[in-house]
Amino acid sequence: MAKILVHIGILRYNIVAYIRRRNYDYQRQGYGKELIAYSLDQAKALGYEAVVIFGSPANYVSSGFVSCKKYHVTNEDGRYPAAMMVKELCPGALEGKHWIYRESPAIQISLEEAQRYDDALEPMEKRYQPSQEEFYILSNSFLE
């Protein structure tokens, strides 16, 4: 049975988000892609055979992620979320089976704790980014 890493990004997303939030001069410099490559290497070194991630395909396809539908990875309802992508770390690890993604309770956060964390950071202007709406649309859309 394949060992699958469900990587929702407790560390990696926070690092990428921090770079994006704090200094726009670091965007489009390849740092996010380097962090993704490093985390994939670490996952493989730990024995994981695949990674499942939620995000915008525009950010992950160039790192080898493909639609979850290509590997028959569904959510618990048997649907293929448009924002869910998969990358095999070991070729063939996911072939010929149907996989079900189950969200870990470890990624459930308290909104109050998140607000306390945000309040401890240097104050900054909160802005609405079009990418937020794009991700909302993707995360609430499903492939047939």
For residue 37, is pLDDT > 80? Answer: yes
Give percent of the chain with pLDDT exceeding 70. Answer: 81
> Taking the CB of residue 95, how many other CB atoms lie within 10 A of it?
10
Q: 51 with 87: CB under 8 angstroms?
A: yes
pLDDT tens for 57-68 read: 888 899 999 999
Give percent of the chain with pLDDT exceeding 90. Answer: 23
| 7/121 Cα distance (integer angstroms) | 25
Query: Rounded to 5 degrees, what are φ and ψ at 81?
Result: -65, 135
| 117/134 Cα distance (integer angstroms) | 25
Predicted confidence at residue 24, as pLDDT, reads 58
